[in-house]
Amino acid sequence: MTAVEHTPRQAQSGPPLGILAVVFTALFLGGIVVSTVMASGVTFPSPFGAPAEILAYFHDHRNAVQTGAFLQFAASVPMSIYAATASARLHSLGIRAPGATIALVGGVLAAAMLALSALLSWVLSRPEVLTVPAVVRALQDLAFATGGTGHVVFLGLLVAGIAVPGLLAGLLPRPLALAGLAVAAVAELSTLTLLVSDAAILLPVARFTALAWLVATGFLLPRTRSNKAVARLSRTGSSTAEEGAA
């Protein structure tokens, strides 16, 4: 019998992370800019604003709301692909710690929250819904909770899931990895928005810095490990094994 030689397959790197990050960031920001322009400079109302102003916005700017919802929903698709690709990339780089899985879970949930918020906003553009003020307020609160706090908190998990192994294994420049940890911390603190309305200022801070960080990381996260990163990862693994034995 002739022995069949199996050639080990090389791990596929997937779509370019940097391009994915640019796409979902551009779509998300485009949704904000385009809807604001269509609404003659009036921005999407805060749920903490005056009820009359909130109702007037949805009555007067239905097309702007619908367009913003469309672009926001579109942004959730490349974001979920980014999360899956980044997690697979970390695994291919030898990361066996929970960080890669945390990045996947955080990114998928962040994309899901963004998509749900977009769909709720789209419902708010329907004329039959606007005839019931209580329904409008309920839907807007849900859109804010999912697209604001819900999305940003899980976006922070995506950032943390990449930043921690990026720091420990030397996969990312140290300043960038530390910045990611700071961004993730602010994102998790934005949970306080559900209790204290003044904490809502944390949402745009965490959201936009996280998007910028994901773009930078998408271009800088390597496809293969350098010798320095391999040595650092080996030392980390040895230290963990020694602690477990002790």
For position 1, what pLDDT does the model report?
A: 38
Q: How many Cβ atoms sit within 10 Å of the Cβ of residue 4?
A: 5
| 56 in Cβ contact with 88 (< 8 Å) | no
Could you tell me the pTM of the whole model?
0.85
For position 150, what pLDDT does the model report?
A: 97
Angle 191-160-96 from CA coordinates, rounded to 5°: 135
For position 47, what pLDDT does the model report?
A: 87
For position 3, what pLDDT does the model report?
A: 41
DSSP H helices in 93-192: 99-123, 133-144, 151-168, 174-189
| 221 in Cβ contact with 17 (< 8 Å) | yes
For position 244, what pLDDT does the model report?
A: 41
Tokens for 20, please give them.
């994915």
Q: At what angle are helices 202-220 and 17-38 packed, to 10 degrees?
A: 150
Write out the E strands in the chain: none
Angle 96-98-100 from CA coordinates, rounded to 5°: 75
Distance CA 76, CA 73 (A): 5
For position 226, what pLDDT does the model report?
A: 62
| Ranges of the chain with pLDDT below 70 | 1-13, 226-246
Residue 19 to residues 24, 79, 175, Cα–Cα distance (Å): 9, 11, 22
